[in-house]
Amino acid sequence: MTFKRGCYAAWLLAFGLAWPGAPTMVAAQDVSFGQRLFQDKADCKFCHGAEGDGRGDPRSPGAGANLHKTILDKAQLIEVIACGRPGTEMPHFDKFAYDDDTPCYGMKSADIGADRPPPPHSTPLTRREIEAIADYIVVTFVGK
C-alpha cells in the first residue's frame, strides 16, 4: 500500500514538473525523506496511522487527525508539526517551541501554561525535516 502510494506520488511529481506552475511541484527527494520520517523516525503513524487517515495504534492517545481531510496549507502544516496543537495530544516537534526566542502562535511557555502540547514520544525534528514531512503530507494525503 505504501509502495503504491509512493508510485502515485512519483507520477504526480513527474506530471507536476512537466506542467510549470502545478501546485504539487516539490522535490521528489523531499517527499521520500518526509515519508521515512512520518513512518519511522518521527513515528507520526503511531497516532495518525500509516495511511494518514487518523487510524493509529490503539495504544496511542487517540484521535489523531485524518490528514486526507485537512484544510491546512503547507505553511500551516509546518506550524502545527513544529508547535503541536495546544490543549491536545498533538506534540510539538520543534525542540525549542514556545521558548522566548521561538514563540508559537504568538505564545511563549508562560502564556500557554498547562495547554502546552507534549514533546514527541519519538524525537524532535529539524526545520528541514518538518518541511519534508509537510511536503509528503501534501503530495500523499491531502484531498486524496
Residues found near ligand HEC in the complex (CB under 6 A): 38, 42, 44, 46-48, 60-61, 63-65, 70, 72, 77, 80-81, 85, 88-91, 93, 120, 133
Angstrom distance (rounded) from CA 86 to CA 18 = 40
Q: Which triple of cell numbers denotes residue 57?
A: 495504534
Minimum CB distance to ligand HEC smaller for 36 or for 108 = 36
Minimum CB distance to ligand HEC smaller for 24 or for 60 = 60
Burial class (CB in 10 A: 0-12, 13-18, 19+), 49: middle
Q: How many residues does the chain have?
A: 144
Instruction: Provide, rounded to whole angstroms, the least separation between the CB of residue 81 and ligand HEC.
Output: 5
76 in Cβ contact with 84 (< 8 Å): no
Instruction: Provide, rounded to whole angstroms, the least separation between the CB of residue 18 and ligand HEC.
Output: 29
Minimum CB distance to ligand HEC smaller for 17 or for 32 = 32
Instruction: Provide, rounded to whole angstroms, the least separation between the CB of residue 65 and ligand HEC.
Output: 4
Angstrom distance (rounded) from CA 57 to CA 14 = 33
47 in Cβ contact with 57 (< 8 Å): yes
Minimum CB distance to ligand HEC smaller for 81 or for 112 = 81
